[in-house]
Amino acid sequence: MEANGPERLQLPNESFTTQKSKRVQLMSVTNQALLHTAVVYIRGSNGELQKCRAVLDSCAMSTFMTTACARRLRLKTFSSNVSVIGFGGTGKKILEATVAQVKSKSSYCSSFAEFLVTPNITSKLPLQMFDIANCNIPEWIDSADPQFNQPAKIDILFGILEWDKMVLSKTYKVGDGLPTLRQTVFGWVAGGQVSQRGSYPVLQALPVTNEQLDEQLSKFWHLENYSSEQVWSSEELAAEDHFVSTHRRDNHGRYIVSLPFRNPDVELGDSSHIAHRRFLRLEARLVKDQQLYNDYKEFMQEYINMGHMKRVGTYNPADPVPEACNFMPHHAAVRPESSATKVRIVFDASAKTSNGQSLNGQLMVGPTLQPR
């Protein structure tokens, strides 16, 4: 399709709606339109953050990730059966979905998102490279995608639910016939008109029914997608029953479950002394390495900001050990070759207490869910 100017395209309503399900549409791209792109960080299965390129689309009701991106992050996926309708009613099935943590590059902003996994989201964006020398972008603008004018592959599409969380109120107009900058949690994104024109292909629409997605996510967390022919031990059954009866979801969408102890009377010895000794060794290491100290402090602060831990008070090793209390040692795992997360904090729940028992040793082991 070619566009001969900024004329409004009239699209048939039936291309995007049905009587039985909700549909989502992406913006069509004419020769002068620029979509908002941002560089984001996604936490992989190994705990490391990896750089991904995303497009923010307020007209999409769901969020998508490419299959290649999910495989690169080694994310755990679960079965899905979601109907996707493209421009003009072209249909497609999406058979996988996943959940991952999203983090910005310049702040502590972090959240979890649910992704539909598809082989391809769109072609490279923008459709053609354009010159930004005349944009006169102020130096104080922290661009979410420093190379927004250069075509590159898209790993992720954030829909309207994530848009509302990520896009802030401030905008900055560069000039007539030039993109408008909009502030987001990732930095400033550019979108709108660009000065160069040409004939480009039109992006396909990617609708999805949210009811089907919710149903599939429910099956994922309740383990209903796995074969009933698998034989579980009594402990595995007890661990699964414990999860079903105790798990809940908080206001931020995170799942919470209590620890599955084998016995109600936890048999843990004193863990404070070994945790204190290991902390002193860690402290000596951090004193000698300022960069490691800064990275360690940033990681711990992020855990506090995300609500993963909180201060419970001051404890003196000479004081009696509180009942039902476990002190968990932690240390830094350093990977200098990593491009995103060079330092990862490891919490050692397998550390032995004074009676030879560990926290992990007191917990039930659930069934193996991955296909053998």
What is residue 211's three-state secondary structure?
helix
Q: Are 38 and 157 in contact (CB under 8 A)?
A: no
Amino acid identity, position 249: R
d(CA 102, CA 192): 25
Q: Which amino acid is located at 126 in the chain? A: P
Query: Higher confidence at residue 36 or residue 228?
Result: 36
Domains of the chain (ranges; CATH) run: 13-213 (2.40.70.10), 272-362 (no CATH)
Average pLDDT of span 223-251 = 75
Mean per-residue pLDDT, 301-312 = 84
21-76 tens-digit pLDDT: 433 434 444 445 889 999 999 999 888 889 999 999 988 888 999 999 999 999 99
pLDDT at 130: 82
Rounded-to-integer distance, Cα 179 and Cα 117, Å: 30
pLDDT winner (highest mean) among 8-17, 29-38, 274-283: 274-283
pLDDT (tens digit, 9 = 90+) per residue, 316-363? 767 776 667 888 999 988 887 766 667 888 899 898 888 888 888 889
pLDDT of residue 201: 46
For residue 7, what pLDDT is reported?
Answer: 41
Which pLDDT value is given to residue 288?
A: 92
User: In sequence order, what E strands does the chain have?
Assistant: 33-34, 36-43, 49-56, 64-66, 77-85, 91-103, 110-118, 156-158, 167-173, 180-184, 187-193, 248-249, 255-256, 330-334, 343-347
Return the DSSP state at 194: -
User: Has residue 14 got a pLDDT over 60?
Assistant: no
